[in-house]
Structure 1
Amino acid sequence: MRLTRDSEDANDLLQDTLLKAFTNREKYTDGTNLKAWLYTIMKNTFITNYQRMVRKNTFIDTTDNLHYINSMESTTDNGAYSSFAMEDINGAIKALDKAYQVPFMMHFRGFKYHEIAAKLDIPIGTVKNRIHIARKELKSKLRMYSHLD
Protein backbone atom coordinates (compact mmCIF):
# COMPACT_ATOMS: atom_id res chain seq x y z
CA MET A 1 0.00 0.00 0.00
CA ARG A 2 2.90 2.39 0.65
CA LEU A 3 4.06 2.07 -2.94
CA THR A 4 0.76 2.12 -4.82
CA ARG A 5 -1.58 3.98 -2.44
CA ASP A 6 -4.45 1.99 -3.95
CA SER A 7 -5.75 -1.34 -2.65
CA GLU A 8 -6.46 -2.85 -6.10
CA ASP A 9 -3.03 -1.86 -7.41
CA ALA A 10 -1.46 -3.17 -4.21
CA ASN A 11 -3.15 -6.54 -4.68
CA ASP A 12 -1.97 -6.68 -8.30
CA LEU A 13 1.57 -5.79 -7.24
CA LEU A 14 1.55 -8.46 -4.54
CA GLN A 15 0.34 -11.06 -7.02
CA ASP A 16 3.01 -10.05 -9.57
CA THR A 17 5.67 -10.20 -6.87
CA LEU A 18 4.71 -13.67 -5.69
CA LEU A 19 4.53 -14.92 -9.28
CA LYS A 20 8.03 -13.58 -10.02
CA ALA A 21 9.36 -14.98 -6.76
CA PHE A 22 7.90 -18.39 -7.55
CA THR A 23 9.23 -18.48 -11.13
CA ASN A 24 12.67 -17.35 -9.92
CA ARG A 25 12.75 -19.45 -6.75
CA GLU A 26 16.03 -21.05 -7.82
CA LYS A 27 17.73 -17.63 -7.45
CA TYR A 28 16.86 -17.52 -3.76
CA THR A 29 19.70 -18.78 -1.58
CA ASP A 30 19.16 -20.31 1.80
CA GLY A 31 20.04 -18.05 4.68
CA THR A 32 18.97 -14.89 2.79
CA ASN A 33 16.31 -12.74 4.42
CA LEU A 34 13.13 -13.87 2.59
CA LYS A 35 11.22 -10.70 3.48
CA ALA A 36 14.00 -8.48 2.08
CA TRP A 37 14.25 -10.63 -1.09
CA LEU A 38 10.49 -10.38 -1.69
CA TYR A 39 10.47 -6.65 -0.95
CA THR A 40 13.25 -6.08 -3.49
CA ILE A 41 11.27 -7.98 -6.14
CA MET A 42 8.16 -5.95 -5.24
CA LYS A 43 9.96 -2.61 -5.37
CA ASN A 44 11.62 -3.41 -8.72
CA THR A 45 8.31 -4.61 -10.17
CA PHE A 46 6.61 -1.41 -9.03
CA ILE A 47 9.35 0.76 -10.57
CA THR A 48 9.23 -1.17 -13.84
CA ASN A 49 5.43 -0.88 -14.04
CA TYR A 50 5.60 2.83 -13.24
CA GLN A 51 8.20 3.48 -15.93
CA ARG A 52 6.15 1.49 -18.43
CA MET A 53 3.09 3.57 -17.62
CA VAL A 54 5.03 6.84 -18.03
CA ARG A 55 6.44 5.72 -21.38
CA LYS A 56 3.00 4.68 -22.56
CA ASN A 57 1.63 8.16 -21.79
CA THR A 58 4.53 9.98 -23.48
CA PHE A 59 3.86 11.28 -26.97
CA ILE A 60 6.74 10.90 -29.41
CA ASP A 61 6.61 12.93 -32.61
CA THR A 62 7.93 10.68 -35.39
CA THR A 63 7.20 13.01 -38.31
CA ASP A 64 10.20 14.14 -40.37
CA ASN A 65 9.72 17.83 -39.66
CA LEU A 66 8.42 17.39 -36.08
CA HIS A 67 5.07 18.71 -37.28
CA TYR A 68 3.17 17.96 -34.07
CA ILE A 69 5.73 19.54 -31.77
CA ASN A 70 6.22 22.65 -33.90
CA SER A 71 2.59 23.15 -34.84
CA MET A 72 1.61 24.63 -31.47
CA GLU A 73 3.90 27.63 -31.96
CA SER A 74 2.18 28.75 -35.11
CA THR A 75 -1.45 28.28 -34.11
CA THR A 76 -3.79 31.19 -33.69
CA ASP A 77 -7.22 31.34 -32.17
CA ASN A 78 -10.13 32.16 -34.38
CA GLY A 79 -11.74 35.14 -32.70
CA ALA A 80 -14.94 34.87 -34.72
CA TYR A 81 -16.66 32.56 -32.24
CA SER A 82 -15.97 34.84 -29.28
CA SER A 83 -16.97 37.84 -31.36
CA PHE A 84 -20.35 36.24 -32.16
CA ALA A 85 -20.78 35.30 -28.50
CA MET A 86 -20.09 38.86 -27.34
CA GLU A 87 -22.58 40.20 -29.88
CA ASP A 88 -25.20 37.78 -28.56
CA ILE A 89 -24.44 38.67 -24.93
CA ASN A 90 -24.60 42.41 -25.59
CA GLY A 91 -27.81 41.96 -27.58
CA ALA A 92 -29.40 39.94 -24.76
CA ILE A 93 -28.43 42.59 -22.20
CA LYS A 94 -29.85 45.39 -24.39
CA ALA A 95 -33.09 43.41 -24.77
CA LEU A 96 -33.60 43.37 -20.98
CA ASP A 97 -36.20 45.70 -19.53
CA LYS A 98 -34.45 48.86 -18.22
CA ALA A 99 -35.66 48.08 -14.69
CA TYR A 100 -33.49 44.92 -14.77
CA GLN A 101 -30.76 46.05 -17.14
CA VAL A 102 -29.59 49.06 -15.11
CA PRO A 103 -29.08 47.29 -11.73
CA PHE A 104 -27.56 44.27 -13.50
CA MET A 105 -25.00 46.38 -15.36
CA MET A 106 -24.17 48.38 -12.25
CA HIS A 107 -23.55 45.14 -10.35
CA PHE A 108 -21.52 43.80 -13.29
CA ARG A 109 -19.35 46.93 -13.17
CA GLY A 110 -18.60 46.32 -9.50
CA PHE A 111 -21.17 48.28 -7.55
CA LYS A 112 -22.34 46.71 -4.30
CA TYR A 113 -26.03 46.04 -3.70
CA HIS A 114 -26.34 48.87 -1.16
CA GLU A 115 -24.65 51.31 -3.58
CA ILE A 116 -27.06 50.37 -6.38
CA ALA A 117 -30.01 50.71 -4.00
CA ALA A 118 -28.87 54.18 -2.93
CA LYS A 119 -28.12 55.33 -6.49
CA LEU A 120 -31.48 54.11 -7.88
CA ASP A 121 -33.38 54.99 -4.71
CA ILE A 122 -34.95 51.51 -4.38
CA PRO A 123 -34.84 48.95 -1.56
CA ILE A 124 -31.86 46.56 -1.48
CA GLY A 125 -34.23 43.58 -1.74
CA THR A 126 -35.57 44.98 -5.00
CA VAL A 127 -32.02 45.37 -6.33
CA LYS A 128 -31.22 41.75 -5.51
CA ASN A 129 -34.48 40.57 -7.08
CA ARG A 130 -33.96 42.56 -10.29
CA ILE A 131 -30.38 41.29 -10.69
CA HIS A 132 -31.60 37.75 -10.10
CA ILE A 133 -34.34 38.13 -12.73
CA ALA A 134 -31.85 39.67 -15.20
CA ARG A 135 -29.47 36.73 -14.73
CA LYS A 136 -32.31 34.28 -15.19
CA GLU A 137 -33.46 35.95 -18.42
CA LEU A 138 -29.90 36.14 -19.76
CA LYS A 139 -29.32 32.49 -18.95
CA SER A 140 -32.48 31.60 -20.82
CA LYS A 141 -31.61 33.76 -23.85
CA LEU A 142 -28.00 32.53 -23.98
CA ARG A 143 -28.78 28.84 -23.45
CA MET A 144 -26.87 28.01 -26.66
CA TYR A 145 -23.61 28.80 -24.82
CA SER A 146 -24.33 26.56 -21.83
CA HIS A 147 -21.83 23.93 -23.06
CA LEU A 148 -18.98 26.36 -22.26
CA ASP A 149 -19.47 26.08 -18.48
Structure 2
Amino acid sequence: MTALEFTYNIGKVSKSLKPFAIKLTRDVEDANDLLQDTLMKAFTNREKYTEGTNLKAWLYTIMKNTFITNYQRMVRKNTFIDTSDNLHYINSLDSCTENQALISFTLRDIDTAVAQLDEAYRTPFLMHFRGFKYHEISEKLSIPIGTVKNRIHIARKELKDKLYMYAYSN
Protein backbone atom coordinates (compact mmCIF):
# COMPACT_ATOMS: atom_id res chain seq x y z
CA MET A 1 0.00 0.00 0.00
CA THR A 2 1.43 3.36 -0.99
CA ALA A 3 1.65 6.29 1.42
CA LEU A 4 -1.11 8.06 -0.53
CA GLU A 5 -3.46 5.06 -0.31
CA PHE A 6 -2.66 4.66 3.37
CA THR A 7 -3.40 8.35 4.02
CA TYR A 8 -6.67 8.09 2.10
CA ASN A 9 -7.78 5.03 4.09
CA ILE A 10 -6.86 6.68 7.39
CA GLY A 11 -8.84 9.76 6.36
CA LYS A 12 -11.97 7.66 5.82
CA VAL A 13 -11.65 6.00 9.26
CA SER A 14 -10.40 8.94 11.32
CA LYS A 15 -13.85 10.53 11.82
CA SER A 16 -14.96 7.51 13.84
CA LEU A 17 -11.96 7.90 16.18
CA LYS A 18 -13.00 11.28 17.62
CA PRO A 19 -15.86 9.98 19.82
CA PHE A 20 -13.49 7.38 21.27
CA ALA A 21 -10.89 10.08 21.95
CA ILE A 22 -13.51 12.22 23.70
CA LYS A 23 -14.59 9.23 25.78
CA LEU A 24 -11.00 8.63 26.88
CA THR A 25 -10.00 12.24 27.58
CA ARG A 26 -13.38 13.75 28.54
CA ASP A 27 -12.23 17.00 26.96
CA VAL A 28 -12.65 18.12 23.34
CA GLU A 29 -9.26 19.86 23.09
CA ASP A 30 -7.40 16.91 24.63
CA ALA A 31 -9.34 14.60 22.32
CA ASN A 32 -8.19 16.60 19.30
CA ASP A 33 -4.59 16.35 20.51
CA LEU A 34 -4.94 12.61 21.09
CA LEU A 35 -6.45 12.14 17.64
CA GLN A 36 -3.59 14.09 16.06
CA ASP A 37 -0.98 12.07 17.98
CA THR A 38 -2.68 8.85 16.94
CA LEU A 39 -2.78 9.76 13.25
CA MET A 40 0.82 10.93 13.36
CA LYS A 41 1.98 7.67 14.95
CA ALA A 42 -0.06 5.65 12.48
CA PHE A 43 1.45 7.46 9.53
CA THR A 44 5.03 7.25 10.79
CA ASN A 45 4.57 3.52 11.53
CA ARG A 46 2.57 2.67 8.41
CA GLU A 47 5.06 -0.05 7.46
CA LYS A 48 3.96 -1.96 10.59
CA TYR A 49 0.36 -2.11 9.36
CA THR A 50 -0.48 -5.41 7.69
CA GLU A 51 -2.55 -4.78 4.59
CA GLY A 52 -5.87 -6.62 4.64
CA THR A 53 -6.29 -6.38 8.42
CA ASN A 54 -8.73 -4.07 10.20
CA LEU A 55 -7.28 -0.55 9.92
CA LYS A 56 -9.89 0.89 12.29
CA ALA A 57 -8.99 -1.59 15.05
CA TRP A 58 -5.29 -0.86 14.50
CA LEU A 59 -5.93 2.88 14.92
CA TYR A 60 -8.09 2.32 18.02
CA THR A 61 -5.26 0.31 19.57
CA ILE A 62 -2.73 3.06 18.79
CA MET A 63 -5.09 5.66 20.32
CA LYS A 64 -5.70 3.63 23.48
CA ASN A 65 -1.98 2.95 23.98
CA THR A 66 -1.09 6.60 23.33
CA PHE A 67 -3.68 7.72 25.88
CA ILE A 68 -2.39 5.26 28.50
CA THR A 69 1.23 6.32 27.91
CA ASN A 70 0.34 10.02 28.16
CA TYR A 71 -1.72 9.41 31.29
CA GLN A 72 1.06 7.47 33.00
CA ARG A 73 3.55 10.18 32.06
CA MET A 74 1.26 12.86 33.53
CA VAL A 75 0.77 10.90 36.77
CA ARG A 76 4.52 10.40 37.19
CA LYS A 77 5.16 14.07 36.49
CA ASN A 78 2.57 15.22 39.03
CA THR A 79 3.53 12.89 41.88
CA PHE A 80 6.03 14.12 44.41
CA ILE A 81 7.62 11.61 46.72
CA ASP A 82 8.27 12.60 50.29
CA THR A 83 11.69 11.31 51.32
CA SER A 84 10.95 11.50 55.03
CA ASP A 85 10.54 8.38 57.16
CA ASN A 86 6.80 8.20 56.43
CA LEU A 87 7.26 8.06 52.63
CA HIS A 88 3.88 9.55 51.72
CA TYR A 89 2.82 10.49 48.21
CA ILE A 90 2.02 14.18 48.47
CA ASN A 91 -0.11 14.39 45.33
CA SER A 92 -1.71 11.00 45.69
CA LEU A 93 -5.07 10.69 43.96
CA ASP A 94 -6.43 9.07 47.12
CA SER A 95 -6.75 12.50 48.72
CA CYS A 96 -8.47 14.19 45.76
CA THR A 97 -12.15 14.97 45.49
CA GLU A 98 -13.93 15.84 42.31
CA ASN A 99 -16.17 18.87 42.07
CA GLN A 100 -19.64 17.42 41.44
CA ALA A 101 -21.29 20.77 40.69
CA LEU A 102 -21.19 20.42 36.91
CA ILE A 103 -22.66 16.93 37.07
CA SER A 104 -25.39 18.20 39.40
CA PHE A 105 -26.32 21.02 36.98
CA THR A 106 -26.32 18.63 34.02
CA LEU A 107 -28.55 16.09 35.73
CA ARG A 108 -30.96 18.83 36.79
CA ASP A 109 -31.15 20.05 33.17
CA ILE A 110 -31.76 16.50 31.91
CA ASP A 111 -34.49 15.88 34.50
CA THR A 112 -36.16 19.18 33.59
CA ALA A 113 -36.03 18.39 29.86
CA VAL A 114 -37.50 14.92 30.40
CA ALA A 115 -40.26 16.35 32.62
CA GLN A 116 -41.18 18.83 29.86
CA LEU A 117 -41.81 16.03 27.35
CA ASP A 118 -45.42 15.33 26.51
CA GLU A 119 -46.69 12.38 28.57
CA ALA A 120 -47.28 10.31 25.42
CA TYR A 121 -43.53 10.49 24.63
CA ARG A 122 -42.13 10.62 28.16
CA THR A 123 -43.67 7.33 29.38
CA PRO A 124 -42.36 5.06 26.56
CA PHE A 125 -39.00 6.87 26.64
CA LEU A 126 -38.54 6.37 30.39
CA MET A 127 -39.64 2.74 30.16
CA HIS A 128 -37.11 2.11 27.39
CA PHE A 129 -34.46 3.99 29.39
CA ARG A 130 -35.16 1.73 32.37
CA GLY A 131 -34.56 -1.36 30.23
CA PHE A 132 -37.94 -2.39 28.89
CA LYS A 133 -37.92 -3.84 25.36
CA TYR A 134 -40.12 -2.34 22.66
CA HIS A 135 -42.57 -5.23 22.72
CA GLU A 136 -42.88 -5.02 26.52
CA ILE A 137 -43.67 -1.30 26.34
CA SER A 138 -46.17 -2.00 23.58
CA GLU A 139 -47.96 -4.59 25.73
CA LYS A 140 -47.97 -2.51 28.93
CA LEU A 141 -49.24 0.66 27.21
CA SER A 142 -51.53 -1.21 24.78
CA ILE A 143 -50.17 0.58 21.71
CA PRO A 144 -48.60 -0.80 18.53
CA ILE A 145 -44.84 -1.45 18.57
CA GLY A 146 -44.35 1.01 15.68
CA THR A 147 -45.96 3.73 17.79
CA VAL A 148 -43.63 2.88 20.68
CA LYS A 149 -40.56 3.20 18.45
CA ASN A 150 -41.84 6.44 16.94
CA ARG A 151 -42.59 8.02 20.33
CA ILE A 152 -39.16 7.07 21.70
CA HIS A 153 -37.55 8.51 18.57
CA ILE A 154 -39.48 11.78 18.95
CA ALA A 155 -38.62 11.98 22.66
CA ARG A 156 -34.90 11.53 21.87
CA LYS A 157 -35.09 14.20 19.18
CA GLU A 158 -36.81 16.67 21.52
CA LEU A 159 -34.30 15.97 24.29
CA LYS A 160 -31.43 16.44 21.85
CA ASP A 161 -32.87 19.82 20.84
CA LYS A 162 -33.45 20.90 24.46
CA LEU A 163 -30.01 19.73 25.63
CA TYR A 164 -28.02 21.01 22.63
CA MET A 165 -25.54 22.81 24.90
CA TYR A 166 -24.18 19.44 26.08
CA ALA A 167 -23.47 18.11 22.58
CA TYR A 168 -19.84 17.62 21.55
CA SER A 169 -18.76 19.76 18.64
CA ASN A 170 -17.32 17.83 15.69
**TM-score of the superposition, structure 2-length normalised?**
0.48
Does residue 128 (structure 1) correspond to residue 149 (structure 2)? The answer is: yes
Q: Is the 2:138–2:144 Cα contact (8 Å) retained in structure 1?
A: yes
Unaligned runs of 5+ in 1: 9-56
Instruction: Return the offset for 1:145.
Output: 1.1
Task: Quote the residue 1:142 is aligned against.
Answer: 163
Letter in 2 for 1:83: S
Letter in 1 for 2:90: N
Q: Which has the larger radius of gyration?
A: 1
Instruction: Return the offset for 1:137.
Output: 0.6
Structure 2 CA distance for aligned equivalents of residues 64 and 84 of structure 1: 37
Task: Quote the residue 1:112 is aligned against.
Answer: 133
Cα 1:119–1:74 change in 2 (3 A) is same
**TM-score of the superposition, structure 1-length normalised?**
0.54
Task: Quote the residue 2:96 is aligned against.
Answer: 75
Q: How many residues align?
A: 96
Q: Is the 2:79–2:90 Cα contact (8 Å) retained in structure 1?
A: no
Letter in 1 for 2:100: G
Q: Which residue of 119, 124, 132 maps to 1:98?
A: 119
Q: What secondary structure does 1:70 align onto?
A: coil
Does residue 86 (structure 1) correspond to residue 104 (structure 2)? The answer is: no
Percent of paired sites with the same residue:
54
Structure 2 CA distance for aligned equivalents of residues 96 and 131 of structure 1: 11
Q: What secondary structure does 1:73 align onto?
A: helix
Structure 2 CA distance for aligned equivalents of residues 143 and 95 of structure 1: 15
Deviations 1:93-138 (A, max 9, x none): 0000001000000101111100101111110000000000001111
Task: Quote the residue 2:29 is aligned against.
Answer: none
Unaligned runs of 5+ in 2: 1-43, 49-72, 84-88
Backbone CA RMSD of aligned residues:
3.2
Structure 2 CA distance for aligned equivalents of residues 62 and 123 of structure 1: 59
